[in-house]
Amino acid sequence: MPAPTTSNKHLFGFWVYLMTDLIIFAALFATFAVLRGATFGGSSLGSLFSLPNTLVETLILLTSSFTCGLATLAVHSNKGRQAIAWFSVTFILGAVFLALELTEFRGLIAGGNGPQANAALSSFFTLVSTHGLHIAVGLLWMVVAMVQIKVRGLTPSVVSKLDRLALFWHFLDLVWIFIFTIVYLMGVAR
């Protein structure tokens, strides 16, 4: 049996990291599920959300997952400029998503529905902002990755890092699908 390459070890280590992130999100989802009704006489969470706006956010993030996939295909076809172009589009979509999320937060807080208002809102802000923080880290990583492509080219080391970036981005999209379904869709349905 051949010894694992450094790249394989890094990929395995990254999967381990993603699983620990999954545990964090699972705990946040469990907390939200327990506390979502704890509004202490305040507005229900569903009445505070704008489902059309959240659907737009979701479509933007899912589109960014598609463009990230196109960037990955370009990387594996050794097309550095095309990869940078697709990562740039992915970055823009991710930044728009994050801006919309922050706008939602600002509106909720301005209406007196910040994380301190009740346990339900506290758990909502914690879950959704943790995802937003991950998006921000992914955007920063994307900028660094594009610089590496430009400066170093598509070396095996850079390609390995780009593969991990793509895994991270797709993971965030998957987490958002659960947030959209559990927090927003089920919240409005209640």
pLDDT tens digits along 144-163:
999 999 999 999 999 999 99
Q: Which amino acid is at 63?
A: T
Question: What does the pLDDT average to over 39-43?
Answer: 78
Position 47 pLDDT exceeds 90:
no
Using the structure block, give the residue that is written with the tokens 């095309």. 82
Q: Tell me, what's the pLDDT at 70?
A: 98
Q: Which two tokens stand for residue 107?
A: 């509106």
Please give the model's pTM, rounded to 2 decimal places.
Answer: 0.91
Domain spans of the chain, in order of start: 55-189
**High-pLDDT (> 90) share of the chain, %:** 81
pLDDT at residue 23 above 60? yes
The span from the CA of 67 to the CA of 56, in Å, is 16
Structure tokens at 149: 């492509």
List the alpha helices (DSSP H) in 1-118: 6-35, 45-48, 51-76, 80-110
Does the structure show a pLDDT above 80 at 4?
no
CATH 3.40.250.10 fits 55-189, yes or no: no
Render pLDDT for 98-152 as a digit per residue (tens, 0 to 9).
999 999 999 999 999 999 989 999 999 999 999 999 999 999 999 999 999 999 9
39: pLDDT strictly greater than 90: no
Q: What is the pLDDT of residue 6?
A: 57
